[in-house]
């Protein structure tokens, strides 16, 4: 079995959890997912996540918006309540 080396990495914390957080603002009307501590090519990570998290041309894929904060090594996702899907995607990709 050949191991694929990705140009990015998302480390777990000392307790083994992934750095994925829900940000709820404006009394619950603004819901974002924050992925922190992304190492390596953050733009490639964003592209891979955006293209493979949901089926192409699905309603979820159309609503997904991303904001890269490269200086802070994090990405914000908005458009839905997808924390579980993001964590599952990271686990499936070996993080």
Q: What is the pLDDT of residues 60-93, one digit of tens each?
A: 999 999 999 999 999 999 999 999 999 999 999 9
- Domains of the chain with bracketed CATH: 8-92 (3.30.780.10)
> Is a pLDDT exceeding 90 seen at residue 38?
yes
CA 64 centroid distance within chain: 11
> Is a pLDDT exceeding 90 seen at residue 29?
no
> Is a pLDDT exceeding 70 seen at residue 4?
no
pTM: 0.88
pLDDT for position 28:
83
Instruction: Report the b/e string of 51-74 with b at 16+ CB within 10 A.
Output: eebbeeeeeeeeebeeeeeeeebb
């Amino acid at each position: 079995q050949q191991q694929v080396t990705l140009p990015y990495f998302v480390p777990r914390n000392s307790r083994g959890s992934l750095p994925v957080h829900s940000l709820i603002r404006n009394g619950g009307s603004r819901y974002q997912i924050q992925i922190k501590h992304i190492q390596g090519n953050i733009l490639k990570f964003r592209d891979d996540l955006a293209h493979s998290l949901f089926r192409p041309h699905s309603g979820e894929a159309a609503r997904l918006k991303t904001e890269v904060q490269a200086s802070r090594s994090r990405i914000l996702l908005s458009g839905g309540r997808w924390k579980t899907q993001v964590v599952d995607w990271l686990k499936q990709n070996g993080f």
